[in-house]
Amino acid sequence: MKNRKKTNFENDYLLLENRLFMKMMLMMVCSLLVIAGVYLFILKDNFANAVVAILEHFIYHDRDEAAVVYLKTFKRYEFWLFLLAILGVFFVVFRMFVGNVSKYFKEINRGIDSLVNEDAQDIALPAELASTERKINSIRHTLTKRKTDAELAEQRKNDLVVYLAHDLKTPLSSVIGYLTLLRDEGQISDELRERYLSISLDKAERLEDLINEFFEITRFNLSNITLIYSKINLTRMLEQLAYEFKPMLAEKNLKLEFEMQPDIFISCDANKMQRVFDNLLRNAVSYCNADTSIKIAAEQIEDHVSIKVMNEGNTIPQERLERIFEQFYRLDVSRSSATGGAGLGLAIAKEIVVLHHGQITARSEDGFTCFELSLPVVGKS
């Protein structure tokens, strides 16, 4: 693979090498022709006749005297004049070649300037610099993506503060309100006191749940989590978790149906994976119609396990389904902090599944919603 990349890298610059080579050869041929012309002009009689004619016409007006002056001044230095002419030709040729090479550097600098200026359009370079063009555009796309990700991270941080302030304010206000009533009302019945205390306790517990949720999503986003893998019986885990949900199921008269292969074993972080199924079941119970059933199906397909959690309820529109795993997103916008979560359960579930190198998707149609997980049987550290 490494050798293939090296070969591709060399081929990318083959056009540039060929183009420079052809220009150099053309300049060398032109140089030889010019030198040949200089040789024929200087070392042959043409140069001598031209100089004698010039001296005779403008200065001495006598050909013999002009010829003597030529022999004393020019003929003696004929070789050096020829050498100087050759050096002049090579200087001009070398300067032209350097100019051709520097043109490519100017094009690269133009591309870098465009990169620094964050121009929206892709950078275009000559065909000989196609590889450099691809790399610069790749860097531009990477920087653009990083900038977008940074802006989204900043927005998520701001959303976290906003949701934190909003969701915590409601139960906190209730706790303060009922405690204030208990303090200010001198004559209050035991029954009313018990009621105020009970409401205050419920709101305080709700406040604790919300704080735990915020800490949980922050931990999953900002920490380098190390998964502790162990071999677990997935079938038994789901059955045990369903047993713990009996009180919640009873409130809406829901039934839990299983369609699972017996003794499916996978390697995963048991605690975190249990959190995933806990969040999915809570979501199913919350949005399931009363007097219906929630179905859990699991089967092993080659080296992966497919788990489905299905419930009957309102069909989720596609535009909401695409955002269902976003942080703080609630399907039912009318659900307040008192009746719904902070919109973090499914986001946390996805974080955990991705950490296990798995996938989680959701679909909803004809009044049925299904969350499907695909997890590798053998964990990848």
363's tokens: 């679909």
- Domains along the sequence of the chain with CATH: 1-145 (no CATH), 157-222 (1.10.287.130), 230-376 (3.30.565.10)
Q: Is residue 348 exposed (0-12), middle (13-18) or buried (19+ Cβ within 10 Å)?
A: buried
pLDDT band at 358 (very low <50, low <70, confident <90, very high): very high
Backbone dihedral region for residue 123 (phi beyond 0: left; psi -120 to 50: alpha; all else: beta): beta
Cα–Cα distance measured from residue 307 to residue 303, given in angstroms and rounded to the nearest whole number: 13
Percent of the chain residues past pLDDT 70, beyond the cut: 76
Cα–Cα distance measured from residue 121 to residue 111, given in angstroms and rounded to the nearest whole number: 11
pLDDT value for 372: 93
What contacts 9, CB < 8 A, 6 or more positions away? Answer: 131
Q: Specify the range with the lowest mean pLDDT, choosing from 4-8, 45-49, 135-139.
A: 4-8
Specify the length of the chain in residues: 381
Of 2-11, 316-325, 327-336, where does the model show the most confidence?
A: 316-325
Q: Specify the range with the lowest mean pLDDT, choosing from 129-143, 159-173, 174-188, 202-216.
A: 159-173
Cα–Cα distance measured from residue 279 to residue 216, given in angstroms and rounded to the nearest whole number: 13
DSSP letter at 226 equals P
pLDDT value for 340: 46
pLDDT band at 1 (very low <50, low <70, confident <90, very high): very low
Region 31-55 average pLDDT: 68
What angle is formed at CA 282 by the lines to CA 278 and CA 283, rounded to 5 degrees?
Answer: 120
98's tokens: 């350097």
87's tokens: 């050096």
Region 351-378 average pLDDT: 90
pLDDT, tens digit, 9 for 90 and up, residues 215-260: 766 666 555 567 889 999 999 999 888 888 887 888 889 998 999 9
DSSP letter at 332 equals S
pLDDT, tens digit, 9 for 90 and up, residues 277-316: 988 988 888 888 999 999 999 999 888 999 999 999 888 8
Torsion of Cα atoms, 58 then 59 then 62 then 63, to 10°: -70
Region 144-151 average pLDDT: 83
Of 61-70, 135-144, 256-265, where does the model show the most confidence?
A: 256-265
pLDDT value for 29: 80
Region 188-214 average pLDDT: 81
Region 343-369 average pLDDT: 86
- If one compares 262 and 171, the residue with the highest pLDDT of the two is 262
DSSP symbols for 56-121: IIIII--HHHHHHHHHHHTGGGHHHHHHHHHHHHHHHHHHHHHHHHHHHHHHHHHHHHHHHTT-SS
Quickly tell me which residue has 């309820």 as its tokens: 313
Pairing of β 255-260 and β 265-268: unpaired
Q: Where are the alpha helices (DSSP H) in the chain?
A: 2-12, 14-42, 45-55, 63-73, 78-116, 130-184, 190-222, 234-244, 246-251, 270-287, 318-321, 345-355
What contacts 147, CB < 8 A, 6 or more positions away? Answer: none
Q: Specify the range with the lowest mean pLDDT, choosing from 3-12, 33-42, 310-319, 330-339.
A: 330-339
What angle is formed at CA 304 by the lines to CA 258 and CA 309, rounded to 5 degrees?
Answer: 30
Quickly tell me which residue has 């396990």 as its tokens: 305
pLDDT value for 265: 92
pLDDT band at 336 (very low <50, low <70, confident <90, very high): very low
